[in-house]
Structure 1
Amino acid sequence: MFVTRPISLGRSLVRFAATPSASVASGTAFAARLKKSTNITGLNVSGSPLSELESRYTKTLSLLSTLPESSVYRQATTALTQQRLDIVAKFSNDAKAIQSEPELLEALYERAEQELDAGQLEQVLEQAVAEYRLAAKMIDWKAWEPLEHPPAPGQWSYFSMAEEAGEGGEDQNVDAGKK
């Protein structure tokens, strides 16, 4: 009644299992993570989060250096990325010294998370990837260039809700607290 077909799932699992992790591929063999889950759906535990963050932050800084120095986005993002890279590099050097001791490594990761104060290292890695992608888009958009069409006069002026409602000029309660 039912036709069965062989499924090639086995080969794909073998292929993924045979793929070296980032830590093995980079020549640094870190101990397997003790942390089994981030408890966030869709966010997997990273095998070597500090080295991945260090790599991503370095790439982001390199990309940001192509933006004009006067770009506010470049200045703000470079400052944040450099600050985080300094923290990650400090902990990454410590991680290399204790790479074969999983308990100490997990404690080090927790201290790095506390100092970064931006969530779990896996979340910080997602943020770093998103910032890298945004920096690439900013280059495409050339956001530092002047607008093609200048804004209309008064476009960026704040308005009063009372004036918009036709209830008069200034807010009536402004002088009430001064008497």
Structure 2
Amino acid sequence: CHLSSAIVVFSVLLLRIIIKICCASMSGAIKKATGLTGMAVAKNPHHTLTALYNKILRAVAKMPQEAAYRRYTEQIVGERAKIVASTSSVKEIEQKVNCGQVEELILQAENELVLARKMLGWKPWEPLVKQAPATQWAWPPAQIHELK
């Protein structure tokens, strides 16, 4: 009687271990933490990144074609959007983009969206209001005269 109950307990424990191993290998590694203080794991990174990248692309589309910020931002964000759309694995996205974890990519995209919207207001592609001084890039900014 005692031997059969011990076998049942052992069998149940062994079965639980096997189930954990199988579930972990079938579902892929589930990310529990980013390892970055204050940064939580993204719940739906594909959706979040796609939405942010589309917003950025819509914002820069309002800029003139020849604007350098538009050209380079469209190129980078477009490449990243294609990677997100064509890749189902979060780990693969991180490897292909090679700029951090998806949570960091989301933060970068949020910051880029804020910048793109500010650039629309600043209009850096327009001519200067007045000519810049010839010494604007001189260093040090103020001429220092030695004391005698």
TM-score, length-normalised on structure 2?
A: 0.70
Unmatched 5+ stretches in structure 1 = 1-30, 96-107, 165-179
Q: What are the Cα deviations for residues 44-72 of structure 1, in whole angstroms up to 9, with x where unaligned?
A: 10111112101110111011100111111
- 1:144 is displaced (CA, Å) by 1.1
Amino acid at match of 1:124: L
In structure 2, the partner of 1:36 is 32
Counterpart secondary structure, 1:57: helix
Is 1:56 equivalent to 2:52 in the alignment? Answer: yes
Hey, what's the Cα distance between the residues in 2 that align with 1:41 and 1:149?
46
Q: What are the Cα deviations for residues 152-175 of structure 1, in whole angstroms up to 9, with x where unaligned?
A: 23534789xxxx9xxxxxxxxxxx
Q: 2:96 aligns with which of 92, 112, 115?
A: 115
Counterpart secondary structure, 2:103: helix
In structure 1, the partner of 2:131 is 150
Runs of 4+ displaced beyond 3 Å: 154-159
Q: How does 1:28-177 map to 2 (within 5 A)?
A: 34-91=30-87, 95=88, 108-156=89-137
Two-structure CA RMSD over aligned residues (Å):
2.2
In structure 2, the partner of 1:27 is none
Unmatched 5+ stretches in structure 2 = 1-26
Hey, what's the Cα distance between the residues in 1 that align with 2:104 and 2:134?
42
Aligned residues: 116
- 1:149 is displaced (CA, Å) by 2.1
Counterpart secondary structure, 2:93: helix
Hey, what's the Cα distance between the residues in 2 that align with 1:52 and 1:154?
45
- 1:109 is displaced (CA, Å) by 1.1
Hey, what's the Cα distance between the residues in 1 that align with 2:98 and 2:53?
16
Comparing both structures, which one devotes a greater share of its residues to helix?
2
Hey, what's the Cα distance between the residues in 2 that align with 1:122 and 1:136?
21
Indicate the percent of aligned positions where both proteins have the same amino acid: 34
Higher alpha-carbon Rg: 2
